[in-house]
Amino acid sequence: MSHESLVERARRITDRVVAVEGYWDGDSFGWHARLVAIVARPGHQHPHFDEVGLGSLGVADPEDIAKGQAVAAALGVPFHFTQPERADIGLPRWWDNYPSGVSDPENDTAPAPSD
């Protein structure tokens, strides 16, 4: 999937996007990297943030990572991928840096985590 079509998908999201994230997911067919938009709404994995799927990053090679970074840049939000070089589960997610939710309530923004 081209980064243009990923950007188009991300721009259709109606909730406020606060980050774009890549992370590893595995099944009986192997590992693949997912690309999601992190949105400011309660979700099943975090009380303040949720994810909206954008597509797959395949094997998370530099070209795939560049697609995720381009989507984040187009939306003006940070890009996060804890460990693109090696597939693993249970790695920290973007929202793990913000356990209480939005860290700047006056401006209603969540700053980029320091990776």
Q: Which helix (H) or strand (E) holds 51?
A: strand 50-58
pLDDT tens by residue, 19-58: 999 998 877 788 888 999 999 999 998 889 999 999 888 7
pLDDT of residue 30: 82
- pLDDT at residue number 113: 44
Rg (CA), the chain: 13
- Give 2 or 80, the one with higher predicted confidence: 80
Q: Which pLDDT score, from 0 to 100, does residue 72 have?
A: 95
Dist CA 46 CA 4 (whole Å): 29
Domain boundaries, the chain: 3-80
pLDDT of residue 102: 56
d(CA 17, CA 3): 17
Average pLDDT, the chain: 83
Of 79, 66, 85, 71, give the one whose Cα is nearest residue 24.
Answer: 85
